[in-house]
Structure 1
């Protein structure tokens, strides 16, 4: 970067093209910067007008620069275009499986968190580049700090092995305010679950703040946790797997409602729900069902869905079988 700064100071370069980034170009007094790399970048703030180029495009510009004594360039205002691949999961988003507990599907769901126009403190730098003094009320930001405020509900955009990327799907904040059915689990349920995962007393005390003795607790397996998804692992393809999951749902939708189970299952798998109809007569009422899986997993990952539908609310849960 020192060498690039010296070159910029020696010649009257207005727009710099290179891989060093925008910070040194700003320090040297350039009015624009073109940075290059091998991959597309997410939206990021430059301290001066700039553009990110893939290596092939940058190579063409290099050829142009060397073809004339007075190369010129113009950086135009950003042009927006529709991304036909959207919505899709960002490359930096965490993926499953959940190595700590393989039978708990992670992630649970996804939320918009890439290139979000967000409010911005005027005392915070825009591009985190030394020497920049711009102040704005909004900035383009990516990350979990952007996805968390969006959170709640579902709309899946399937892809190969994408279950470990999107979980139950992209959230719908409006529908999440009135979900119809909810899966409740309290502190005791999670303590029993953690005991079933062989957490020692010291770790449990750090998590709960209490002295927990697992030998005195009727601990449960991951499969028994009242969780809104179902996951089974198999050691190899064509392995016959079987498992049952007991779940309890609480009615928070309509006082008098009847939910019918709809299963979307891959060929070769046998998945059943008992009972397959849930009757509710009041809000807060609880009903329990058992989902059972039998069959051979033929691919590295097989997925299915369970939908509880009362005509107004649709509660969709992921069923996942995969090779470990």
Structure 2
């Protein structure tokens, strides 16, 4: 019921916006806003030499126009009053309009953890991605890092048309054969500042592609950083730092700005520029907050990425950091690769040792003077019942209570490292950061400025109980450095966005998970490793966690696959990664959920964890064309005009509406009505393309969800030189009386095609929904 109601409400948003824009009567004090207008490009009168001339003459004052879009999207963005926008919307050539919105970033050893090995396998077959260009949409780049050296790289691919845009502390000389392009997009931000919505703080930012935040430098080097020897973050994670595709070229598109997010109008302009420049892969670790996703026709990331994918560009996006709550995954469009986060087999343990001798595990990247085993009084400000004190918010701690003590602070409401500064300001000597129940046992390392570590919810409760029951509670923190070979790994990160898909549950999201916890990568010189203004430390590398870090792993993986298989479509590349993904950890046990310690499900990890040791040779792939995506949009009830907002070209939906679950996706999600008694069946049609041995025979293997019957016809697929594609049908039958849904509200299974060498696996999800 909730899922269908959500879809119905979303479909009304555009109608609501139109009625709002058309509200009568513009007052003298009417506040301006930035709007994005989708225009029918075929309607341009021949008298105008370009669409730009047409827009400026017929729709808006040239001064008010911010961006003109003509590659992945056709239209423009402009700062107008609501009544002016309503007037533009009345023009018959204007298909739609939506307000510009602010979005947020989804904030060494990992290539080996993904199955990559020197001089063999995918790295060798793809020449480390040497002629593929990855476009990174983020906060820019700090180009002087070793990760972006062009030493021994061949010439820039001749097809490349991008530029190196100059600005504050950035010139064309900052680009090279590695960093082949750099642009920045600020007009949406600057318009927001003029309109009172908060602009760019030029005292801490660079009006150029230079990175003042660090996030963009980190994601770019994760995807395609060169080999950097003797890398570490203040001694943590020492070794050779490298990206997933070390020889791939980078093009940076700065769309996000320090402390002020990323605006839709600028993101859409970056998509337009990147595709026109000639990128092969786009990496975008950006999305909506709070796990809320807009319908595709109101989402510039979905619109821009459709235009990119339709022109052969693979787009990798982050799943969001609002887990472990259900339905928290974002970036849901089926043409996007949606990437969740998992751990790797490296950790940075820091143990809390209590006065009664107990040792409780935690995590920290603190690199200052150690406590050397000295015991200090331990205090929990939350005993007072004051929420701000329990969270160690600014000016909330009484120096008389915390001076000379280790303070336990609850996680939430402010930056984790900022809490330590509050403790230090009040005279505390150290901090223990305790997860709440919503974070469970999921931990990430932070480069704290005082002796501090993070502990899970259970450990936090134990420490608080110890304080409450002891006349004199004491503790110390033992920082143990870097530990390799951690088991189990990977584990689904507690913060990683989870399914089901809140827009179209027939499409399983996220697609898969990749390393996203405690990832070492290059960093900016503009801020310290914590990102706090008061942190004056400089570091070449930093360790961060988030689905933002997982996304560029897949972007780099796509670059390797594109280099090894230039003829593969974006859908084929995604399929190769999904059908070969791992569903077991390094103990050969099912993947665990970090937040609960229990086994995870496809709602948490999609098809599994990225495994590049197998993705180069998947055997079969599930391919998709632009027509398939149009059919999907028709199937979910979008009209021709709404679909054209996304696809750029006019479309005609068939009289009989297609079924969304028949999109040729590498996963299967069966939704049954909870009100229908007795057995119900659904049949799904899929088409596989043979990309392996020419003459091969695949047999089906089914792992049915508990209480569900699954049949497949045919049970064998025989490929030859003449037969490269074959269809099959999957019938899923469920009886509401026998269907026992788990905590996630679904049951899970899998379907695999096996030929003795390949296992082409697709998850099956079965759930019930309430009718409207």
TM-score range, shorter chain: 0.7 to 0.9
Determine whether 1:193 maps to 2:625.
no
State the match for 2:503 in structure 1.
100
State the match for 2:454 in structure 1.
52
State the match for 1:262 in structure 2.
701
Spell out the pairing of 1:204-215 with structure 2 (5 A cutoff): 204-214=643-653
Match of 1:192, SS? helix
The 1:129–1:232 alpha-carbon spacing in structure 2 relative to 1, beyond 3 Å, is: same
Determine whether 1:248 maps to 2:687.
yes
- Which of 651, 663, 666 aligns to 1:228? It is 666
Cα displacement string for residues 86-108 of structure 1 (whole angstroms, at most 9, x for unaligned residues) = 33322222222223222222222
State the match for 1:24 in structure 2.
422
State whether residues 192 and 218 of structure 1, in contact with CA within 8 Å, keep that contact through their aligned partners in structure 2.
Answer: no
State the match for 2:605 in structure 1.
166
The 1:233–1:57 alpha-carbon spacing in structure 2 relative to 1, beyond 3 Å, is: same
Determine whether 1:299 maps to 2:726.
no
State the match for 1:322 in structure 2.
767
Q: Which has the higher helix share?
A: 2
1:231 and 1:11 map into 2 onto residues whose CA distance is 53
State whether residues 251 and 282 of structure 1, in contact with CA within 8 Å, keep that contact through their aligned partners in structure 2.
Answer: no
State whether residues 698 and 717 of structure 2, in contact with CA within 8 Å, keep that contact through their aligned partners in structure 1.
Answer: yes
State whether residues 451 and 477 of structure 2, in contact with CA within 8 Å, keep that contact through their aligned partners in structure 1.
Answer: no
State the match for 2:118 in structure 1.
none
Q: Per-residue deviation at 1:160?
A: 6.1
Match of 2:513, SS? coil
Q: Per-residue deviation at 1:27?
A: 4.7
2:399 and 2:630 map into 1 onto residues whose CA distance is 63
The 1:34–1:224 alpha-carbon spacing in structure 2 relative to 1, beyond 3 Å, is: closer
State the match for 2:432 in structure 1.
34
Q: Per-residue deviation at 1:75?
A: 4.8
State whether residues 252 and 284 of structure 1, in contact with CA within 8 Å, keep that contact through their aligned partners in structure 2.
Answer: no
- Which of 154, 157, 176 aligns to 2:581? It is 154
1:229 and 1:36 map into 2 onto residues whose CA distance is 37
Determine whether 1:310 maps to 2:755.
yes
Q: Per-residue deviation at 1:316?
A: 0.5
Q: Unmatched 5+ residue regions in structure 2?
A: 1-393, 411-418, 555-576, 584-589, 592-597
Q: Per-residue deviation at 1:183?
A: 0.5
Match of 2:512, SS? coil
Q: Unmatched 5+ residue regions in structure 1?
A: none
Cα displacement string for residues 173-196 of structure 1 (whole angstroms, at most 9, x for unaligned residues) = 221122111111111110111011
Match of 1:19, SS? strand
Cα displacement string for residues 216-237 of structure 1 (whole angstroms, at most 9, x for unaligned residues) = x775211221111222112239
Q: TM-score with structure 1 length normalisation? A: 0.83
1:286 and 1:11 map into 2 onto residues whose CA distance is 69
1:284 and 1:117 map into 2 onto residues whose CA distance is 46
Match of 1:311, SS? coil
The 1:67–1:273 alpha-carbon spacing in structure 2 relative to 1, beyond 3 Å, is: closer
State the match for 2:523 in structure 1.
120
State whether residues 261 and 306 of structure 1, in contact with CA within 8 Å, keep that contact through their aligned partners in structure 2.
Answer: yes
2:476 and 2:748 map into 1 onto residues whose CA distance is 51
1:290 and 1:24 map into 2 onto residues whose CA distance is 60
2:728 and 2:709 map into 1 onto residues whose CA distance is 17
Q: Per-residue deviation at 1:140?
A: 2.2
Q: Per-residue deviation at 1:60?
A: 3.5
State whether residues 36 and 58 of structure 1, in contact with CA within 8 Å, keep that contact through their aligned partners in structure 2.
Answer: no
Q: Per-residue deviation at 1:281?
A: 2.0
Q: TM-score with structure 2 length normalisation? A: 0.37
State whether residues 407 and 428 of structure 2, in contact with CA within 8 Å, keep that contact through their aligned partners in structure 1.
Answer: no
Match of 1:271, SS? strand
Which has the higher mean CA deviation after the structures are superposed, 259-268 or 223-232? 259-268
The alignment covers a number of residue pairs equal to 317
1:23 and 1:283 map into 2 onto residues whose CA distance is 68
State whether residues 23 and 130 of structure 1, in contact with CA within 8 Å, keep that contact through their aligned partners in structure 2.
Answer: no
Cα displacement string for residues 125-177 of structure 1 (whole angstroms, at most 9, x for unaligned residues) = 31122311112222222222221233333111266672311222112122112
1:311 and 1:180 map into 2 onto residues whose CA distance is 11
